[in-house]
Structures are given as C-alpha cells and as structure tokens.
Amino acid sequence: MSEVENKQDNNATEPAAEEPIPGLIKSDGLINDFDSQLEVMQSDPNSPLYSVKSFDELGLKPELLKGVYAMGYNKPSKIQETALPVIINSNENLIAQSQSGTGKTAAFTLGMLNTVDTNLNAPQAICFSPTKELALQIFEVISNIGKFSSIKPLLYIPEVDLPNKIENQIIIGTPGKLFDGITRRKILTKHVKMIVLDEADFIVASRGMQQQIGSIKQFLPQNTKVCLFSATFSLGVDQLISAMVPDPKVSLRIKRLDLSVDKIHQYYIDCDSESNKAIILSDIYGYISVGQSIVFAHTIETAKKLAEMMRADGHSISLLYGKDLSTEERFKQIKDFKEGRTKVLITTNVLARGIDILQVSLVINYDIPLDENSRPDPVSYLHRVGRVGRFGRSGVAISFVHDESSKKKLNAISEHLGRQIKELKSTEIESLDGILKGLKDLTPLAK
C-alpha cells in the first residue's frame, strides 16, 4: 500500500549542543559571533526576535528566570514578550502566532511552568502535541528550563504507561493518549488551570484530534485558560478555532506574506524527470561537506527507497516515518540525528512541524508538499523549510521539481507565500557547499 503521510500522525528530543552554523562562518573560516548578530536582530523592530523588555520584566518566578538564562537566552523574542504576560497575568484565552523558530515553545513552556503551584502535587497544566517526537521535545524543554524548580513534567504518549498516582503538575502528550487518560479519569483535572495546543491549527483541522480535545474540555474546570500556538493559522481553521476558544486574546498575528523566515535561502532544482531526482539528490550529497540536513518525501515508500540508496552511497542516515515504527525506534532515529551520529534525516511530513535541531542547515523537499487532496500545500512547505533558520540562523531550502505539474505546484506555493523561490541549476549544485558555508551566494537572499 502506498501510504501518503500528508498529515502528521500520533506521535522528538533534546536541545543539541550548539555547533557552528553554516552561513555564519566567515570566509576566513572563523566563526562569526552569533550572539552579537542575534543582538543586532533583536534590536530591529521589524524582526520577530525583537523585544523591548528583558526576561526580568516579564514576571517570571526567580527559579524560572535562572533556567532561562542557563539556556543561554539573553532577551525574549517578540512572541515571548507578548504571550508571556497574557499567560502569567490574565485569565484570558490566547492565540499566539509567530514564524517558525522564533521561540513559541519556550514561551508556552515558561507560561505553564510559571502557572503551576509547586505546593500542589497534581496536574495543573496540560500540553497537547500532534506527534510523539514533538511531545518529547517539549517535555525536554520543560525539564531544561524548569530545572531549578521542583516541577517534574510527565510525558504521556503511545507505549507509555501512567503511574498509579499522578503527582506531576505538567503533562505533555498526544491528543489520543490524553483523551484516554482524562476520560477514563486516570488523569485528574480538577486543578487544571491551563491547556496549551502546540501546532494548534494542525490539531483543530484534524477531525480525530479536534473531537478528542472537544471531549476533554468537558472534564476541565470552567475557567481553564486555553492557549493556542502555531506558526500558521490559515483562514480555513479560524472558524474551528473560534468554536473551540471563544473570545481569545490574540497576542500576535502575522500576515501571510510575513510568514516565511527571511534568513532561509529558498531554491528549486529542475530535475527533468522523476527518475533523475534520486540522481540529483545523490549528487548533492556528493558535494556538500557541512551541516546536517533533512529530506522530506511524500510517501513512506519513497523515504525508504531514498534511505537505502543513500546508505549504499555510504551516508549515515536516520529514517523516520509515522506508521509501523515503534516509539522506541522512532526516538532512536531522531536521537541519532540530534546527537550527530547521522548526518541526514529522511522523513515524511510527520516531522515537518516543530522539531528544533539548530545544526540543520539544509532542507530538501524531494517531493513538493501536497495536502490530502493532492493540492500544493503552502502551510506544510512553511513548516518544512522552517526546520532551518531557527532563531535568526540562516539556512537553505531546496525543492525538487521534475515536470510541468510539479513546477506549477511549487509556483502556486511561491505565489501564495509571496516569496520568490529561485532556480538552482543542476549544473550549479557544486556551489551548494559554498552557499551552505556562507562563503558565496549564487543569488541574493530570496525575498
């Protein structure tokens, strides 16, 4: 069966040690001071990383502030500066949108941690994540930022059992498991003060997950604060969202044309034929020597075939898809990649959202992202390419096209996003290593 993973299914990870980021390496080979570049970006009012306040002014508890600084964060980003006061100081529901990689996860994890009463050993904040990998990543961010507090989060995903008595104040899980735990009253909800939906547009657009969350709401205290976070909220989900979250405070909402992260160089390669795509992929990896990369394929079959080919070429590969792989295997694949044991991660859309691996400098759309009806999917495109360009870093995204139909589809995505995607000729592939190192740029940054 040809399995198309247009949707993320049920179901990443620890912040990897920061490595030199390609694109921030000067031509003399010395590494630019990323902190000083970040400082410049954070002083630009047009940047999503800009803020006027410091973390000290956001009303965080001292032990959390200590955690923030231990993470190496100096200043909040715009979304952190605007969302955190709403979560901390008001009872309002919240919709928060900002480009991928601009610190939404840190915003809502700090919000949950700050909301918890540490003298009460019962669930008080619940976070819904559409995938296991993302749930694990959020769990790890909470554990890290919260390491100076007594709060211990609980991860509840498939193949994990609940303890008999839940004393954890924060639970992070996939909607199906949380639905099960809450409706069977294994997770007591009477002290719950807030719920967070990460990748909220995806969750509400997915009928199964939406129903699960709808049912859970009946079990929550009436004044439970609902916070929705995502890089994308398309018009199609607006109505679903207003049904789920009446009268929300909107902390940041971005225009469609501003959704794309400026520092991602976006290219396409015309491969001429479907069969040439694998050859071009192999060529690319023959030339590039730096960084880690993610290759997105449309089907599990294609992902498996590419992994086999790349392994035969001698590359170290992680292969991750949603169906038929155990949680343990999925976590192993991504851990190997995050810890640098593999250089290339080949995956389906299951990993398009949220996964944060700073050393990834290249994303390849082996297949153009399509929605369930095989139409071009700009939202998936944005999330996929957003795996690079994290918090002000630069990166490269390349989409393969091979015929008139795929060209039209990519064009539709480019037009929808108001972004030019420049051609990289197949004869120019050898320049990619230079682009990735930031040594030379074939074309100006795609706007």
Ligand X SMILES: Nc1ncnc2c1ncn2[C@@H]1O[C@H](COP(=O)(O)OP(=O)(O)OP(=O)(O)O)[C@@H](O)[C@H]1O
Contact yes or no for 72/55 (Cβ under 8 A): no
Distance CA 342, CA 332 (A): 11
CA-based torsion, 387, 388, 392, 393: positive or negative: positive
Q: Number of C-alpha atoms within 13 angstroms, CB side, residue 11?
A: 25
Q: Based on CB atoms, which residue is closest to ligand X, 8 or 105?
A: 105
Binding stretches for ligand X (CB under 6 A): 15, 73, 75-77, 80, 100-106, 231, 354, 356, 358, 386, 390-391
Name the minimum Å distance from CB 287 to ligand X. 28
Residues near 329 by Cβ (< 8 Å), separated by ≥ 6?
A: none
Distance CA 93, CA 86 (A): 8
Integer-rounded Cα Rg, in Å, for the chain is: 21
Distance CA 322, CA 300 (A): 9
Q: Based on CB atoms, which residue is closest to ligand X, 175 or 181?
A: 175
Name the minimum Å distance from CB 386 to ligand X. 5
Q: Based on CB atoms, which residue is closest to ligand X, 187 or 252?
A: 252
Q: Based on CB atoms, which residue is closest to ligand X, 177 or 390?
A: 390
Q: Based on CB atoms, which residue is closest to ligand X, 105 or 131?
A: 105
Name the minimum Å distance from CB 444 to ligand X. 25
Name the minimum Å distance from CB 18 to ligand X. 8
Name the minimum Å distance from CB 297 to ligand X. 20
In total, the chain counts a number of residues equal to 447
Name the minimum Å distance from CB 75 to ligand X. 6
Name the minimum Å distance from CB 367 to ligand X. 20
Contact yes or no for 439/308 (Cβ under 8 A): no
Q: Based on CB atoms, which residue is closest to ligand X, 285 or 337?
A: 337
Is 154 in a helix, a strand, or coil? strand
Q: Based on CB atoms, which residue is closest to ligand X, 173 or 354?
A: 354
Residue whose entry in the numeric block shows the structure tokens 């909107």:
250
Residues near 106 by Cβ (< 8 Å), separated by ≥ 6?
A: 68, 71, 73, 80, 141, 145
Name the minimum Å distance from CB 104 to ligand X. 3
Q: Based on CB atoms, which residue is closest to ligand X, 111 or 386?
A: 386
Q: Based on CB atoms, which residue is closest to ligand X, 153 or 354?
A: 354
The single-letter DSSP state of residue 447 is -
The single-letter DSSP state of residue 163 is P
Name the minimum Å distance from CB 79 to ligand X. 7
Give the C-alpha distances (Å, rounded to integers) separating 54 from 100, 201, 365: 21, 29, 38
What distance lies between CA 167 and its chain's CA centroid?
A: 29
**31 burial via Cβ count (<10 Å: 0-12, 13-18, 19+):** exposed
